[in-house]
Chain A
């Protein structure tokens, strides 16, 4: 053939500063929205004379955070550990269960109805019960809640990923006389990874919610949920709001960390490149 093959070259990776510059530009609209929202919030509370227990001004929340920053961050870290523990337990069990289900369909028929039923249970309502099981001051009681919350999305998505392999891929592997284990390792698991990461990102946020709500029903005084709950009952709303802000920050950081892992694990997949 005389003509040279023509392909779309991958986007060249420019200098680092270039990338950072483009990144900053990507985020600019969001930053503008944030600033506008804060200004609107700050001003409207003064203008409409809104009571501080309904919504304190952002500046008051910021100063409450600054005054209590070590207490708040320590509490945030404590709660994050509970969330992380629950996340690891819940996601591991979910992935192992999903692998078993995809490998042995009989296991699936035995497990799936219960997974669906378990998902219908309002897990948060179990917080007082896990407190009774593990003692409210033990991190395990909150991990249990977080783990159960994480389980279902990760389980369902992993099963979906493992079973969404194109039939032709399986035929190709069978033409190489590949066994089930080879097909699993080389086709099913890589196909499932994007699904798994989507679920893990959902689970980061769920695990923080699980840990904090679990703490509302009693927990260590070092815990963020306990702090938010007790500050709002003593009308210390600025610090309660600051606590919510810290919870958000930990949740977002957790999410971004998993998203970073995803980018690392799925290098070269079309969806992770701009």
Chain B
């Protein structure tokens, strides 16, 4: 069974009568790491939010774990990470990670045990009593990832999580994310506009094109895991980066064709 299955999905925003997404068909299998990439306005973030049932589609169906998206959201079938870490300043780091567990009604002892586990997973042991504003941007993002994975969801949705970080921190977090993905056995849908990041991380890269947002191409990434610094130097890596870049440009070129 696919973790995410999208059929004949269209999203039209009433305001401005914009077609954000058109005829999206996509199935994501368990354990996959799928990146959605495309220029601004291609609807990649909208698509992610539709999978999470934070935005309703205009038509078409979205199932998560075999359930309609609203049911999956109610059942806590996914965790989500935004570009901004969205940590609450009035809570300590540990309490931020525990937030979804509180909402699920876990008792204190079970929460504490789980939070400790998650802090170890993202290598932030000892920072539980800090407040978010005392951490660097990269560390805040790791807290956000720990929070999203705290209740062990089958699916992790990430909306440009490293977009606001510097290049060095970003590359380090990319490697960490792969390690966490491997350790947690979750399925990841990852929105980015960095070609290098998409190729480095993913099992498949979904290339989208704008106005209306649609899938231009899907590039399978056959680089072996575990991937590391040397992956970025392999010829195959460059070939795939080129392939994704060309797919992106081809997608945009479709726009240049005059309407008959």
Q: 8 Å CB contacts to B: which residues of A1-33?
A: 1, 5-10
Is the C-beta of A177 less than 8 angstroms from some C-beta in chain B? yes
Partner of B86, one of A168, A178, A266: A168
Complex: how many Å from CA A7 to CA B124? Answer: 10
**CB neighbours of B175 from chain A (8 A):** 1
How far is the CB of B102 from the nearest CB of chain A, in Å? Answer: 8
How far is the CB of B218 from the nearest CB of chain A, in Å? Answer: 26
A172 in contact with B76 (CB, 8 Å): no
**CB neighbours of A270 from chain B (8 A):** 89, 131, 133
Partner of A5, one of B76, B79, B123, B131: B123
Complex: how many Å from CA A268 to CA B90? Answer: 6
Partner of B76, one of A10, A166, A176: A176
Once A5-B127, A190-B90, A270-B133 are accepted as A-B contacts, the answer to whether A175 and B73 lie under 8 Å apart by CB is yes
**CB neighbours of B90 from chain A (8 A):** 190, 193, 266, 268-269
Is the C-beta of B176 less than 8 angstroms from some C-beta in chain A? yes
**CB neighbours of A175 from chain B (8 A):** 52, 54, 73, 78-80
B88 in contact with A190 (CB, 8 Å): yes
A10 in contact with B134 (CB, 8 Å): yes
Partner of A166, one of B78, B84, B139, B176: B84
Please give me the residue from chain B that is nearest to A4 by CB atom.
Answer: B123
Is the C-beta of A187 less than 8 angstroms from some C-beta in chain B? yes
Is the C-beta of A236 less than 8 angstroms from some C-beta in chain B? no
B134 in contact with A177 (CB, 8 Å): no
Complex: how many Å from CA A150 to CA B238? Answer: 66
Chain B residues in the interface with A (C-beta under 8 A): 49, 52, 54, 73-76, 78-80, 82, 84, 86, 88-90, 92, 99-100, 103, 123-124, 127, 130-131, 133-136, 139, 172, 175-176, 179
5 cross-chain pairs, A with B, having the tightest CB-CB distances, nearest first: A190-B90, A175-B80, A177-B74, A168-B86, A270-B133
- The 21 sampled A-B contact pairs (Cβ below 8 Å) are A1-B123, A1-B172, A1-B176, A1-B179, A7-B135, A7-B139, A10-B131, A169-B86, A171-B82, A172-B86, A175-B73, A176-B100, A177-B73, A177-B74, A177-B76, A186-B88, A193-B90, A268-B92, A268-B131, A269-B131, A270-B131
